[in-house]
Amino acid sequence: MSKIREAHDILNTLGLPPAQQNEMSALTLLALCGLSKRDEWSLAQRHSVGVTKGIMSFVSEKYGKKYAPNTRETFRRQVLHQFVQARIADYNPDNPQLATNSPQAHYALTEEALKAIKTYGTDEWISAAKAFVDKHGALVAKYARERNSDMIPVTLSKGLILQLSPGKHNEVQAAIILEFAPRFAPGAALLYLGDTTKKNLFVDTDKLVELGIPITDHSKLPDVILYDEKKEWLYLVEAVTSHGPASPKRVLELEDMLVDCKIGKIYVTAFPDFTEFRKHTGEIAWDTEVWIKENPDHMIHYNGDKFMGPRP
């Protein structure tokens, strides 16, 4: 196994997230250890190095991997920050008082990481790695906990609670259910809710099939589908944070997909704020609705002869 592959294995075993299990991260670990291609891991040393003249110069000289000068920040933000959080590296161990942007900023392996890494390739490695992770925790697990704590809860009328992954797009989707629906679709049932991570977070399969809505390709469905059984209205809501309003092209695509659904359809584009809305004003189809999260009590109708009803 090559030294770079071995470094990958070390980072994986020590619990680094997938984003830090790549060649740049592996080379950074080797530079921090001061190991060339043929050196044994037992020869790893703790020494302080900067990013450009230390790490980047080392990997260029010892491994023939040349990185452009502007990748310095990538090393720092996408590798070294995570190494520090995982307790693999110390930041400015020789002078903790250095300013954040000091040209003398440097990194070094922690004593505990060095102790574990030096056992790689021996019978002691697994127990040493486990002891390190048991003490400091796996960064991938820490990130997972932080992500879960940031989840956006959505409580449905029947008491079911869904967890939307964090992000501006899902904040708008949560607002569609918690703010838009009670105001403009009171009593409507949620039939479908997507998610930026898990596309089909909630699907009422039986009702969608009953209404003639195909469910074989979730990627073509709008972000949120609500159904008012009394009025027999179907609300097809797109949450827009950067692209994808109810444009003429999108409405036509949905009408073609919903050709077997005979329920009256209302197309709604939901924006987080007026700034985002203004970016898309020229794309929105006539006879559709616009709802803006920052001003939830009002709607904008793209026509003027009626308000909130199925397209003719």
Whether 308 is covered by a domain: the verdict is no
**C-beta neighbour count of 176 within 10 angstroms:** 26
Whether 311 is covered by a domain: the verdict is no
Whether 312 is covered by a domain: the verdict is no
**C-beta neighbour count of 302 within 10 angstroms:** 15
Which residue is listed with tokens 């809501």? 237
| pLDDT (0 to 100) of residue 149 | 58
Give the Cα separation of 197 and 9 in Å (integer): 27
Q: Could you report the per-residue pLDDT of 211-235, keeping only the tens digit for each? A: 998 877 555 788 899 999 889 999 9
Q: Which domain holds residue 64?
A: 3-146
| pLDDT (0 to 100) of residue 234 | 94
Strand 264-271 vs strand 289-292: parallel, antiparallel, or unpaired?
parallel
Reported pTM:
0.53
CATH number at residue 15: 1.10.10.1820
| pLDDT (0 to 100) of residue 176 | 92
Q: Is there a single domain that holds both residue 246 and residue 120?
A: no
**C-beta neighbour count of 160 within 10 angstroms:** 10
Domain count, the chain: 2
| pLDDT (0 to 100) of residue 10 | 96
Give the Cα separation of 49 and 104 in Å (integer): 9
Q: Could you report the per-residue pLDDT of 33-58, keeping only the tens digit for each? A: 999 999 999 999 999 999 999 999 99
3-state secondary structure of 234: strand
Q: Which two tokens stand for residue 298?
A: 């009002």
- Residues in the chain where the model's pLDDT stays below 50: none
| pLDDT (0 to 100) of residue 80 | 94
| pLDDT (0 to 100) of residue 220 | 77
Dihedral, CA of residue 129, residue 134, residue 135 and residue 138, to nearest 10:
80
